[in-house]
Amino acid sequence: MPELPEVETVRRTLTPLLTGRRIVSVEAVRPEVLAHPLAEEFCALAADRNILELGRRGKYLLIKLEGGASVIVHLRMTGRLLCTPAIHERKPHTHVVFRLDNGQELRYSDVRRFGRLWLQQSGENDDFSGIHKLGLEPFDAAFNADYLRDKLSARRINIKQALLDQSVIAGLGNIYVDEVLYQVKLHPCRPVADLKKKDWQALAAAVPEVLLQAIANNGTTFRDYLDGEGKEGSHMPYLEAYGRRGEPCRRCGEQIERMKVAGRSSYFCPICQKEK
Partner DNA sequence: AGATGCACCTGTATGC
Partner DNA sequence: TGCATACAGGTGCATC
Catalytic residues: 2-3, 59, 264
Q: Which is nearer to DNA, 84 or 129 (CB)?
A: 129
Output the smallest distance, CB 55 to DNA, in A.
16
| 174 binds DNA, rule: CB under 7 A | yes
| 246 binds DNA, rule: CB under 7 A | no
Q: Which is nearer to DNA, 86 or 157 (CB)?
A: 157
Identity of the amino acid at 26 = V
28 vs 42: CA distance, rounded Å: 9
Pick from 92, 99, 88, 208: nearest CA to 145: 208
The DSSP secondary structure of 244-262, one letter per residue, reads -TTSBPTTT-PBPEEEEET
Query: In whole angstroms, what separates CA 261 from the centre of its chain?
Result: 20
229 vs 116: CA distance, rounded Å: 20
The DSSP secondary structure of 145-202, one letter per residue, reads HHHHHHHHTTS-SBHHHHHH-TTTBSS--HHHHHHHHHHHT--TT-BGGG--HHHHHH
Where does this chain touch DNA (CB under 7 A) — which range of 18-26, 119-127, 200-208, 258-266? 258-266
One residue of 89, 123, 125, 223 binding DNA per CB under 7 A = 223
Where does this chain touch DNA (CB under 7 A) — which range of 45-53, 63-71, 214-222, 249-257? 214-222
H/E segment holding residue 206: helix 197-216
What are the residues whose beta carbons fall under 8 Å from the beta carbon of 212, sequence distance 6 or more?
none
- Of residues 100-159, which lie at the interface with DNA (CB under 7 A)? 111-114, 130, 133, 155-158
Binding mask 37-76 for DNA (x = CB under 7 A): ---------------------xx--------------x-x
Instruction: Give me the residues that bind DNA (CB under 7 A), please.
Output: 1-3, 6, 32, 58-59, 74, 76-77, 92-93, 111-114, 130, 133, 155-158, 161, 164, 166, 173-175, 220-225, 263-265
